[in-house]
Amino acid sequence: MKQSALFLATIFLTISIFAQDPIKVLNRHRDSIPTEQLYMHFDKQAYVAGETAWFKAYVRTAGTDGLVSTNFFAELLNEKGEVLQSKKLPVIVDGSINGQFDIPTTAPQGIYMVRAWTNYTRFFDPTYLFKKAVPVFNPSTTAASADAGAGYIFEWFPEGGRLLNGVSNVLAYRCTDKKMQPALVSGNLLSSKGEDLGSFSTNKYGLGYFSFPPVKGEKYFAELLFPDRTKQKIELPAGIDNGIALNVADHEEGKVFTLLSSPSDPAAPKEVLLLAVMNNLIVLKANVELKENEAQGLVSTANLSEGILRLYAFDKSNNLLAQRACYVTLESSHVPVEFKALQKSSGPKTLNEWSFVLPANTKGNFSIAVTDADKEILSVNEENIFTSLLTQPGKKQFGNMQVKDEEVRDLIMLTSSWVNDDWAFFAKTKAPRLVDELHLPFKGKIFQEGNNKLLTGGQLDILVRTKDSTDHTYTVPVMDDGSFKLYELAFQDTARIYYRWAGSKEERPTNSEIEFDRDNSDYSALLKNFSVQQWVASKKNLLNTPSASIAAQLIADLKTTEGLASRITQKEKEEPQKKNPVGGTKDVNNRYATGAFSGMSSARVLDLVTEPPSNIQGNIFDYIVGKMSGFTIEKAAGNYAIYSSRSTSTREALSGNSRGLVPGKVYLDEQETSMDMISRITLDQIALVKYFAPGSITLPGIGLSCVLCVYTRKPEDLNNSKKKYTNSLIFPGYVSGKIFTAPDYSIDDKKRKDTRSTIYWNPDVKANSETGEIRIKFYSNDTGKRFHVVFEGVTTDGRLVSFDKVIE
């Protein structure tokens, strides 16, 4: 609730110096149970049968810089809860995933659900999953409607959790119909004697509140009048005699809290431990003294980020007395976007060029969708990246936080619920056993072929050849029980994997066979206590849009546009595979290094093709010592690190690095990776090593780091390899994705009919590292006059971008 004027008495918040159980619980969640947040940006808000739903998914871990998961799972379900499509996709370094769902042409009209999770989120309640309603229109066929039944649901929400007798309490309420749509209801507050204590009603969101002081021993009732003119008399929550009432109000500097105890309670707490928590981090820890049964204070939000702030009040015995969730809105968390149409044209098949300017030096992970605004069945999104990422994890019931009215937003917080509202449940939650393997797990046990005898010890030499003929080699140890594990594979479709077992004493390679570990993951619990049918019924109103009449035309348009929007330009002629020419290091460099990595004058180069190692024992880091200069490679606790004495920073010195050296970056085949990954590759599989001193190469996110790039041999350079792989198999990879493409009318046929509804989709947008500018170009369709652009993303420092505008 807002307070236009509030006098804050000066109180002293004494920081507790004693260990408190609630603090231990919260710190354990902070350190061991991070909150993973998921969001999916779709190119449109509604589709017709036969269309492709393009998406960009964002995964981030609240309150930390790292990622917990490397795999992302997404499913498309119909109204019956049946899974129509399922995808497993890799989470890349910046926490992003691209993909699409192909909606069948025979899909009945209805509300479909996209459900997404990671191996980490599935350890928690099903409310931690990402869920999105996807209306699909198909006038030729409709699915049987889920009947949610008649009637209304009216619920009370005392602020702080309970009503306290003898003091003024805020009591919020929410009313919906059985389809979970807001209901306009009015009512009267009555005493047990039938006295009329006042009237109340819901706003257009089905929400409302009033304040009143319950009296000990008294019961209260509400007589409700629903939209269908039916009436119902319901009882208010019973008041308690002992405890604390907690009220939170907005203030220009943050959130004002008021703690009240009952004057008639001789055992009323004189001091309360107040904790304010955001993203599992305690942002305020204070012992608050109640004088004359009241205390007030301010939680400053100046240094917080946007999101949910939770306040907890505990007594000296660590019993939870009251709790309140509120939303912090901060403009500093919003990245400003300056839009400019450099070239705008609404004529048929004409070129448009737009500019989006972010603050200088802004780096991050962004996606942009441009649609024909006059072909949109739904133009307003129920959620955006802010309202989803910042409020979704663990929510059981939640309203639309895109409303602008701050008082309504606070009412939504008052009448919403999360799994962690149950403090007893929250306190006993244990850190999950992390099972998220790094991308595609290649693991199992190895046996001698034909007799099922375990091959123990030694190593497994592996070569992975993907569909594009790219080769990667690995060496993994075989344990005493015959087991092996390789976690870092990532490729689409399938790959041919060649392998051989070599004993610990270099026995002759033996024909072998692999028994893979079974995936015993049980995802059935994901829908436990969650009714898809009820959830779908709550979204049925999305089908009642005035623009639904254009669905038939969109379906007809698909036939005329078929092949245009999905056209993928390929090279007219594939280059023949090159043989290994004799040309020395320069030629090897030209065949392997590309782009920013291709320079030789700015790099130190070690060519292992022209001059192969005489001894292939050890790894590449052992080999280059003494052969390349300008850097040092250190190994501590089994982990490698590379440094350049030319690159130091105060930040590194303060973090514990006594020399202040900035760690270098390592790349494998021009993709950033870990030194541990490279250390597993045998010398005879490496073609080229290039070292770039700090400042001699320009790459995103490099900063003051030196760069070491290692290249694995191409097939034509593998003829020197002394290894002979004894076995091979086909191994499944990630689902192959499609590429969104659009016509280029500077070269394409302008006579062809163009009725696309999605004009532009780019899930991998990068801003200019210096100016912060993003430029996009696209050609309009035949009829578009207005364009709807949605630009969303996450910056490297955790801020969010959300730009939604119709350009006319």
H-run or E-run covering 247: strand 245-251
SS3 content of the chain, % helix, strand, coil (to 5): 15, 40, 45
Q: Give the type of residue at 105.
A: T
H helices, E strands: number in the chain: 10, 46
The predicted pLDDT at position 445 comes to 92
Q: What is the pLDDT of residue 648?
A: 63
Of 174, 141, 145, residue with least CA distance to 157: 174
Question: Averaged over 615-627, what is the pLDDT?
Answer: 81
The pLDDT, as a whole number, for residue 150 is 67
At residue 237, the pLDDT reads: 94
Examine the pLDDT at 60 and tell me if it is beyond 90. no
Among the listed residues 228, 133, 130, the one whose alpha carbon sits nearest the alpha carbon of residue 177: 228
- Residue 27 vs residue 567, higher pLDDT: 27
What's the pLDDT band for 702 if we cut at 50, 70, 90?
confident
Q: What is the model's pLDDT at position 807?
A: 93
Contact 313, 260 (CB under 8 A): no
Query: b or e along 414-437 (b: 16 or more beta carbons within 10 Å of the residue's beta carbon)?
Result: bbbbbbbbebeebbebeebeeebb
Mean pLDDT of 678-696: 88
pLDDT of residue 18 exceeding 50, the answer is no
Give me the helices (H) in 42-186, please. none
What pLDDT is attached to residue 796?
A: 86
Residue 515 confidence (pLDDT) above 90:
no
Residue labelled with tokens 């030694």: 458
Helices within 362-474 (DSSP H only): 385-389, 406-414, 423-428
- Report the C-alpha dihedral over residues 22, 25, 30, 32, rounded to 10 degrees: 170
Structure tokens at 118: 């990671």
Quickly list DSSP for 10-48. ----BPP-S--HHHHHHHHHHHH-PPEEEEEEES-S-EE
pLDDT grade for 305, boundaries at 50, 70 and 90: confident
**Single-letter code of the amino acid located at 466:** T
Range list of β-strands (E), 451-542 = 459-466, 471-477, 483-489, 494-502, 512-516
- Inter-residue contact 551 to 483 (CB < 8 Å): no
Token representation of residue 400: 């639309």
Task: Tell me what pLDDT residue 560 has.
Answer: 63
Lowest mean pLDDT among 122-136, 212-226, 269-283, 285-299: 122-136
3-state secondary structure of 508: coil
Highest mean pLDDT (candidates 55-64, 213-222, 557-566) = 213-222
SS3 556: helix
Out of 102-116, 468-482, 586-600, pick the least confident.
Answer: 468-482
| Residue 768 vs residues 201, 337, 357, 556, 700: alpha-carbon distances, Å | 52, 14, 9, 40, 10
Token representation of residue 372: 């024909």
- How crowded is the C-beta side of 483, counted as CA atoms within 13 Å? 6
- Rounded average pLDDT over 104-111: 90
Specify the higher pLDDT residue, 264 or 66. 264
Give the pLDDT of residue 303. 87
Q: pLDDT band at residue 332, thresholds of 50, 70 and 90? A: confident
Q: Which of 161-165, 469-473, 518-522 has the highest mean pLDDT?
A: 161-165
pLDDT of 3 over the 70 cut: no
* Among 81-95, 115-129, 587-601, 717-731, the range of highest mean pLDDT: 587-601
Residue 64's pLDDT is what? 59
Determine the average pLDDT of the residues in 568-584.
39
- Average pLDDT, rounded, for the chain: 82
Residue 609 CB neighbour total at 10 angstroms = 21
Which pLDDT belongs to residue 579?
40
Task: Give me the pLDDT at residue 15, please.
Answer: 34
Mean pLDDT of 107-122: 88
Compute the distance between CA of residue 165 and CA of residue 263 in angstroms, rounded to an integer.
9
- Rounded Cα distance between 72 and 89, Å, is 5
Give the least confident one: 159-168, 250-259, 718-727: 718-727
Instruction: Select the more confidently predicted residue: 561 or 28.
Output: 28
Closest by Cα among 788, 50, 82 to 371: 788
Based on its alpha-carbon atoms, the radius of gyration of the chain, rounded to whole angstroms, reads: 31
506 confidence band (pLDDT: 50, 70, 90): low
What pLDDT was estimated at residue 778? Answer: 95
pLDDT top residue among 732 and 331: 732
Specify the higher pLDDT residue, 727 or 222.
222
Q: What percent of the chain has pLDDT over 90?
A: 38
SS3 label, residue 216: coil
Measure CA 304 to chain center: 20
Rounded to two decimals, the pTM is 0.73
- Asked which of 124-138, 455-469, 612-626 is least confident by mean pLDDT, the reply is 612-626
pLDDT class of 649 with cuts at 50, 70, 90:
low
pLDDT in tens, 755-807: 999 999 999 999 988 899 999 999 999 988 899 999 999 998 888 999 999 99
d(CA 237, CA 235): 7
> Dmax over Cα atoms in the chain, in whole Å?
102
Distance of CA 71 to the CA centre of its chain: 11
Amino acid at 335: V
**Collapsing DSSP states into helix, strand and coil, what is residue 122?**
helix
- From CA 245, how far away is CA 237, in angstroms rounded? 14
What distance in Å separates the CA atoms of residue 621 and residue 708, rounded to the nearest whole number?
11
Distance in angstroms (rounded) separating the CA atoms of residues 505 and 26: 52
**What's the CA gap between 293 and 427, in Å, rounded?**
29
pLDDT at residue 711 is higher than 80: yes
Per-residue pLDDT at 797: 83
Q: Quote the distance between the C-alpha of residue 790 and its chain's center.
A: 18
pLDDT (average), residues 398-424: 75
Here the tokens at position 670 are 């021009």
The region of weakest confidence among 98-112, 565-579, 699-713 is 565-579
What is the number of alpha carbons within 13 Å of residue 441 lying toward its C-beta? Answer: 16
Contact assessment for residue 248 and residue 257, using Cβ atoms and an 8 Å cutoff: yes
584-720 in CATH: which number?
2.170.130.10
Average pLDDT estimate for 601-622: 84
State how far the Cα of 690 lies from the Cα of 440, in Å rounded to an integer.
28
Residue 623, SS3 per DSSP: helix
Which range among 87-91, 286-290, 426-430, 632-636 shows the weakest confidence by mean pLDDT? Answer: 426-430
Q: Is the pLDDT of residue 184 over 90?
A: yes
Lowest-confidence pick of 550-554, 557-561, 605-609: 557-561
Average pLDDT of the residues in 655-675:
80
